[in-house]
Structure 1
Amino acid sequence: MILEKAKRNYIPQELNMDWHALEPIFNELLNREINSVNELEKWLKDKSEVEAALEEDFAWRYIKMSCDTANEDLVKSFQYFATEIEPKIAPIGNDLNKKLNDSPFVKDLDQDKYFVYLRGIRKALELFREKNIPLQTELQVEQQKYQGITGAMSVTLNGQEYTLEQAANFLKDLNRETRQEAWEAITARRLEDKDKLDGLFNKLKDLRHEVALNAGFDNFRDYMFQALGRFDYTPQDCFDFHDAIEKEVVPLLSAQAEERKSLLKLDSLKPWDTEVDTSGKAALIPFNNGEELIEKATNCFNKLDSYLGSRLEIMKANGLFDVESRKGKAPGGYNYPLSETGAPFIFMNSANSFRDLTTMVHEGGHAVHTFLTANLELNDFKHCPSEVAELASMSMELISMDHWDEFFKDEEELKRAKRYQLKDVLKTLPWVAVVDSFQHWIYTNPTHTVEERTKAWTNIFNRFGANFVDWSEHQEALENLWQKQLHIFEVPFYYIEYAIAQLGAIAVWKNYKENPTKGLAKYMEALKLGYTKDMKTIYETAGIKFNFSADYIKELMDFVKSELEKLD
């Protein structure tokens, strides 16, 4: 099936993405007379069509730049949109929001259908400040520099050059000296750019604080809670969540670290001892190349549900994957929705490791979400908060495990893979607490020095177990671990969502284990809602609670522990 963009009903099928072509379209929307609720809904659909076209154009600029960060033309194309298009759209976008909010017919819209959307529009109006437009443009350009710095990183091991993702495979080697050599090479390469990344972050932090002050907030943390639409929880809820993770999860991981140390017959665990298999077996190799990864993931999804597998088949047929690691490619992985096409692009850095399998099914969950929301009436209905978006992806990591025999034909290897996955689920929670707690500190202490930031990071990291290893000889590496977290640079305050969604995903998986057909159906029904309902309703539709209390965390951790015991 070859995909085609949705037929445009308002703007030309072919439209140059420059201001000369766009300005008349925005002016028509701004000046159009609206004399009934039907005309208002038609206006909303036309506005949505413009937004979808712009989003897809921007998506491709970002995707192409990520795939080749060294290509100056692709970087300039991205920067053109960020500096020449977005700053001109922002004030008119605010005027369009005002036009909608002030319309006498807005009260006649179906409030059940439009409640969440209108709530977001009103919040955007509250936060908009004209003087923030150039600052947000500068932030777009500066944030992109993180990709350029980290995408250029590589190391040489045994006379061969590797990207950092590829080199990380050596951390699973049974030979401890090999692991140590790889870890030290990766760490030394990261530290080469420590000062450059500190300087970049200082600039980002100062710009973000200025945006917050302009919008009438004391700090960027409080601004972002509003900007991210966190209507369902507060900073204090996050602090309580951190406390619950420290109480309920950190002791579990501490016990696992002691067991690891004993099984490996070591006096102390070092940072290069956390990934090797304690059974003494070589690292799992679930596939041999990117092509095989896509094929096996598709088969796995097909076994879950033919609709799910067919979505990955459509993506492959349309060239919507770039999965293998190479020098010059941006780090990390993502699923980028293409708003007009109704499908996504999956980007990742596969090095044929087990973690690449989990990345693929994670991004595959996002991809399914993109397809399930493609036909929602307004483009904004598809813009889910991260707590919902990550529920889609993290749940897929767990519910797909029943069909990981596509990757592991040997029963014992399959069990090992599932054990890895469940232990990774547990490890996710303290790391999220560390990153989230650190960001709260950063932005509520906006005048901090690099030295103060380093001390704060170290204290927070140690509070949550410091990865349960001995860092005594590698203090500088510990102090700069935060620099490897892309989100801190590129999408500030986007991280607690992973922990909230991880709890939700465990609950989805629990439902699935009890009744696969019903559990999967509820999961997909929740995803189909997009962001047409509030977050709690979406979680309830999935058959789970939007809850991150200590009692609920304990209940879900007990379930994971019981599932781990079944694999022994």
Structure 2
Amino acid sequence: MIITKKPRTYIPQDLTISWESLEPLFTELQNREINSADELEQWLKDRSELEAALEEDFAWRYIKMSCDTANEELVKNFQYFATEIEPKISPLSNELNKKFSDSPFMDDLDKEKYFVYSRAIKKALELYREENIELFTELQVKQQKYQGITGAMSVEINGQEYTLEQASIFVKDLNREVRENAWKTIQQRRLIDKDDLNILFDELIKLRNQAALNAGFENYRDYMFQALGRFDYTPQDCYDFASAIEKEIVPILKEQAEKRREALALETLKPWDLEVSVSGKPALKPFNNGTELIDKSIACFNAIDEKLGNKLAIMKANNLFDVESRKGKAPGGYNYPLAETGAPFIFMNSANSLRDLTTMVHEGGHAIHTFLTANLELNDFKHCPSEVAELASMSMELISMDNWNVYFNNAEDLNRAKKEQLADVLKTLPWVAVIDQFQHWIYTNPDHTAADREETFKQIYNRFGAGFANWDDLQAEFGNVWQKQLHLFEVPFYYIEYAIAQLGAIAVWKNYKENPEKALEQYLAALALGYTKPMNEIYETAGIKFDFSAEYVKELAQFVKEELEKLG
């Protein structure tokens, strides 16, 4: 099935994305007379259609650039949108927000239907500052430099060149010398660009802090809590959540690390001992190449529900995957929704490992979410907060586990894969707490130096177990671990959501183990809401609580621990 874009009813079918063609459309929306609630709703739909077209155009510029960061033409195309289009749209969008907010017919709209949307518009109007337009443009361009620097990183092992993602396979090798050499080689490569990335990060902090001050906030942390629409929790809740993770999760992981040390017959665990299998068997290899990963993932989703497998098959038929690691490709993985087409693009850096399997089913969860929200009335209805978006992906990691037999030929490997996945579920929580607490410190102390930053990171990382490895004689590498986290450079404050959603995902999976049919139905119903309901209602629709109290953390951690013990 070949996907086609939804027919346009307001903007021209062949609209070229340039300022000359866009300006008349924004002007028409701004000047249009609105004489009834029906006309206001039509105005919203027309605005939504224009915004969806712009979003999809930007999406493709970003996707193409991240697939080939060394291509100057693709970088220029991305920068053109960021520097020539976005800054001009920003003040006009603010005027359109005012037009909506000031409309006498706004009160005649369905209050429940537009509650979340209206709340977001009000918040956007509160935060808008004209002097920030130029700053955000500069940030957009500077943030992209991280991809360019990290995408160019490669190492040589055994006389062959590898991307860092590909080289990480050697860190799982049964031979300790091999994995130590690979780990150190990767870290040494990262350290080469350490100063450049520190300079870049200092520049980003300065710009972000200025944007917050311009908007009347004490610091960028407080600004971002508003900008991200965090209506349901506060910075203090994040501190409390981190304390709960430290108290309830870290001891379980410490216990598991001790078992790992004993199984590997080592005096102490070093950072290169954390990924190798304690079974004494080579690292799991669930597939051999990108095509096989996609095909097996379609089969896995089919086994959960044929409608889900069909969605991934549609993506394959439309070339909406780029999954294999190569030099010049940006790091990481993402699912990028194509707002007009109603389908997503999945990008990742596969090196044929178990982690790549989980990345694929994770991004596959996001992809299903994109398809389920494709036909919502307004484009903004599809813009879910990350706590909801990551619930979609992290739940799919766990729900899909019962069908991972499509990736493995024998029961023993399948069992190993499940154990490693559940251990990773628990490991996610302290690492998220580290990055989140680090960000709180960074932006409430904006005048710090790179040396202060490194020292603070070490202190926070130590608080949460520092990966449960011995870092003696590795202080340069230890203090630089944070630079591998793309979110810090490109999407600041987007990280605590992973931990909140991880708890939600465990709860969804708990329900799924008790009643698969009902739990899947509730999960998909929650995703189909997009962001038309407040966050707690979306979680309730999924059959779970929006809760990250210490008691809830303890309850769900205990459940995962018991499931791990059942696997032996």
Q: TM-score, normalised by structure 1?
A: 1.00
The one-letter amino acid paired with 1:47 is R
How far, CA to CA, are the matches of 2:262 and 2:511 in structure 1?
35
The one-letter amino acid paired with 1:547 is D
* 1:70-81 alignment, distance < 5 Å: 70-81=70-81
Helix, strand or coil: the match of 2:16? Answer: coil
The one-letter amino acid paired with 2:17 is M
Does residue 212 in structure 1 map to residue 205 in structure 2?
Answer: no
How far, CA to CA, are the matches of 1:290 and 1:446 in structure 2?
42
* Per-residue deviation, 1:166: 0.2
Map of 2:92 onto structure 1: 92
Map of 2:40 onto structure 1: 40
Render the CA deviation track for 1:17-40: whole Å, top value 9, x for unaligned.
111000000000000000000000
* Per-residue deviation, 1:556: 0.3
Superposition misfits of 4+ residues, deviation over 2 angstroms: none
Render the CA deviation track for 1:191-241: whole Å, top value 9, x for unaligned.
000000000000000000000000000000000000000000000000000
The one-letter amino acid paired with 1:197 is L
Map of 1:174 onto structure 2: 174
| Structure 1: gaps spanning 5 or more residues | none
The one-letter amino acid paired with 1:17 is I
How far, CA to CA, are the matches of 1:195 and 1:131 in structure 2?
30
The one-letter amino acid paired with 2:166 is Q
How far, CA to CA, are the matches of 2:68 and 2:238 in structure 1?
37
The one-letter amino acid paired with 1:325 is S
Map of 2:184 onto structure 1: 184
* Per-residue deviation, 1:258: 0.7
Map of 2:31 onto structure 1: 31
How far, CA to CA, are the matches of 2:261 and 2:352 in structure 1?
27
The one-letter amino acid paired with 2:505 is A
After alignment, is 108-117 or 446-455 more displaced? 446-455
Map of 1:135 onto structure 2: 135
How far, CA to CA, are the matches of 2:409 and 2:107 in structure 1?
59
**CA-atom RMSD, angstroms?**
0.3
The one-letter amino acid paired with 2:117 is Y
* 1:30-429 alignment, distance < 5 Å: 30-429=30-429
How far, CA to CA, are the matches of 2:176 and 2:446 in structure 1?
42
How far, CA to CA, are the matches of 2:454 and 2:188 in structure 1?
18
The one-letter amino acid paired with 1:260 is R
Map of 1:469 onto structure 2: 469
How far, CA to CA, are the matches of 1:535 and 1:420 in structure 2?
30
Helix, strand or coil: the match of 1:141? Answer: helix
Helix, strand or coil: the match of 1:268? Answer: coil
Render the CA deviation track for 1:421-449: whole Å, top value 9, x for unaligned.
00000000000000000000000001111
* Per-residue deviation, 1:409: 2.0
Helix, strand or coil: the match of 1:162? Answer: strand
Helix, strand or coil: the match of 2:345? Answer: strand
Map of 2:555 onto structure 1: 555
* Per-residue deviation, 1:451: 1.3
Helix, strand or coil: the match of 2:81? Answer: helix
Map of 1:480 onto structure 2: 480
Helix, strand or coil: the match of 1:293? Answer: helix
Map of 1:565 onto structure 2: 565
How far, CA to CA, are the matches of 1:464 and 1:563 in structure 2?
23
How far, CA to CA, are the matches of 1:15 and 1:388 in structure 2?
33
How far, CA to CA, are the matches of 1:267 and 1:303 in structure 2?
44
The one-letter amino acid paired with 2:296 is K
The one-letter amino acid paired with 1:192 is I
How far, CA to CA, are the matches of 2:186 and 2:562 in structure 1?
36
* Per-residue deviation, 1:72: 0.0
How far, CA to CA, are the matches of 1:473 and 1:449 in structure 2?
23
How far, CA to CA, are the matches of 1:275 and 1:37 in structure 2?
59
* Per-residue deviation, 1:455: 1.2
Helix, strand or coil: the match of 1:261? Answer: helix
How far, CA to CA, are the matches of 1:187 and 1:237 in structure 2?
34
How far, CA to CA, are the matches of 2:528 and 2:501 in structure 1?
17
The one-letter amino acid paired with 1:565 is E
Map of 2:453 onto structure 1: 453
The one-letter amino acid paired with 1:98 is K
How far, CA to CA, are the matches of 1:340 and 1:351 in structure 2?
32
Does residue 494 in structure 1 map to residue 511 in structure 2?
Answer: no
The one-letter amino acid paired with 1:21 is S
Render the CA deviation track for 1:154-187: whole Å, top value 9, x for unaligned.
0000000000000000011000000001001000
Helix, strand or coil: the match of 2:346? Answer: strand
* Per-residue deviation, 1:418: 0.1
Map of 2:532 onto structure 1: 532
How far, CA to CA, are the matches of 1:212 and 1:260 in structure 2?
45
Helix, strand or coil: the match of 1:199? Answer: helix
How far, CA to CA, are the matches of 1:167 and 1:501 in structure 2?
30
The one-letter amino acid paired with 1:77 is N
* Per-residue deviation, 1:279: 1.1
Helix, strand or coil: the match of 1:340? Answer: coil
Give identity over the alignment, percent.
73
How far, CA to CA, are the matches of 2:348 and 2:428 in structure 1?
19
How far, CA to CA, are the matches of 1:446 and 1:473 in structure 2?
30
How far, CA to CA, are the matches of 1:328 and 1:344 in structure 2?
22
Map of 1:503 onto structure 2: 503
Helix, strand or coil: the match of 2:162? Answer: strand
How far, CA to CA, are the matches of 1:157 and 1:144 in structure 2?
28
Q: TM-score, normalised by structure 2?
A: 1.00
How far, CA to CA, are the matches of 2:563 and 2:258 in structure 1?
20
* Per-residue deviation, 1:60: 0.2
How far, CA to CA, are the matches of 2:232 and 2:328 in structure 1?
40
* Per-residue deviation, 1:473: 1.1
Helix, strand or coil: the match of 1:275? Answer: coil
Helix, strand or coil: the match of 2:322? Answer: strand
How far, CA to CA, are the matches of 1:548 and 1:256 in structure 2?
23
The one-letter amino acid paired with 1:497 is E
How far, CA to CA, are the matches of 1:501 and 1:520 in structure 2?
16
How far, CA to CA, are the matches of 2:400 and 2:278 in structure 1?
25
How many residues matched?
A: 568
How far, CA to CA, are the matches of 2:375 and 2:17 in structure 1?
24
Helix, strand or coil: the match of 2:498? Answer: helix
How far, CA to CA, are the matches of 2:428 and 2:473 in structure 1?
25
